Amino acid sequence: MKAFVVERYGKDGLRAADVPEPEVGDGDVLVKVSAASINPLDTMVRNGEFKRLLKYRTPFVLGHDVAGVVTRVGSAVRGLQVGDEVFARPRDLRIGTFAEYIAIDHDDVAPKPASLTLHEAAAVPLVSLAAWQALVDRAHVRPGQKVLVHAGSGGLGSTVIQLAKHLGATVATTARGGNAELVRSLGADVVVDYTKEDFAEVLSGYDVVLDSRGGENLERSLAVLKPGGQAIGVTGPPDPGFAKQLGAPRFMGVVMGLLSRKVRKQARKLGVSYSFLFMQANGGQLRELASLYDAGHLRPLIDKTFPFDQTLDALAYVEQGRGNGKVVITFD
């Protein structure tokens, strides 16, 4: 089958290739891919940023989001059958959605939202799971709280705005002035044009900040939190909890602690907290999220679609960082 594989780590390490169709285990479903979408995580994995923690063996197929049709089910699978339209974010070390077929653990798969096409559903899994795990599982956002999400017109930011609004929060976001109307249509109550204003000077008293920028942007985000507030970073720096999540050796937890020591120390001084979120595959949560899409509480934001043979062009487009929403690769 045709696929895009990481032959070696680095920007030029991804190439088109013919690879064997994946084997299907007892607990797996084989999915014929209708569409996949691109996430910043794809470029990070391609570049080897997690190679000490996620032990992929090159060459491996890239891709973390998928929607498609089940063509085979393992003997231990219940509740899914051939012909079902599904969507998923396959678990780490079993990624590979930039391909004609992928075998996925059935626990990571859910029926696609009935209100979405397969191409739309491919834009959803990773960002919706990250939003859910940040706002619901970790921050426990409640009605009346205040949430700041950076880059509100991006794939993750646009989803976080909608979910936070559904949870009853007042939502602020940063965006270019030209995208203000877009993010307001998604539910943002406060929009800070980062080309003209400093969010750290105009915002205060927030319960949660979700940061996708890292560095100085993350450090300044701490100042907008109220005492006891939480800053959650999705691009780093990683913390000891990340190493524990991956089951890494204890010394890696020490390394992660050193990498995030500065920001965690700053957070403690301000009476707030910082944690790193690396979202996890979860088919059960995708089923809950599917109901939110079908009820109209969430909708995917898609910037552009590319045919499968232009996957490298699609990845380069995402790396420019100028799009609104997700970029989808289509197979049909």
Per-residue confidence at 43, pLDDT binned at 50, 70, 90? very high
What is the assigned CATH class of domain 126-276? alpha beta
Q: Fold match between 2-123+300-330 and 126-276?
A: no
Measuring CA to CA, how many Å separate 211 from each of 48, 214, 235, 268?
22, 7, 8, 17
2-123+300-330 topology per CATH? Quinone Oxidoreductase; Chain A, domain 1 (3.90.180)
Tens digit of each residue's pLDDT (9 = 90 or more) over 57-108: 999 999 999 999 999 999 999 999 999 999 999 999 999 999 999 999 999 9
Q: Which of 29, 30, 10, 35 is nearest to 20 (CA)?
A: 30
pLDDT at 44: 93
pTM (two decimals)? 0.96
Instruction: Measure the CA–CA gap between 257 and 89, rounded to whole angstroms.
Output: 28
pLDDT at 211: 96
Looking at beta carbons, which pairs linking 322-325 to residues 24 or more positions away fall under 8 Å? Answer: 323/154, 324/153, 324/154, 324/158, 324/179, 324/182, 325/123, 325/153, 325/154, 325/155, 325/158, 325/300, 325/301
Q: Which residues pair with 47 in a beta bridge?
A: none
The angle at the Cα of 240, spanning 268 to 225, to the nearest 5 degrees, equals 30
- Enumerate residues 6+ apart whose C-beta is below 8 A from 236: 214, 259, 260, 276
Say whether pLDDT at 54 is over 90: no
Q: Are 103 and 24 in contact (CB under 8 A)?
A: yes
Note the maximum CA span of the chain: 58
Can you give the residue ranges of every domain in the chain?
Answer: 2-123+300-330, 126-276
pLDDT at 238: 85
pLDDT at 241: 82
Residues 5-29 have a mean pLDDT of 97
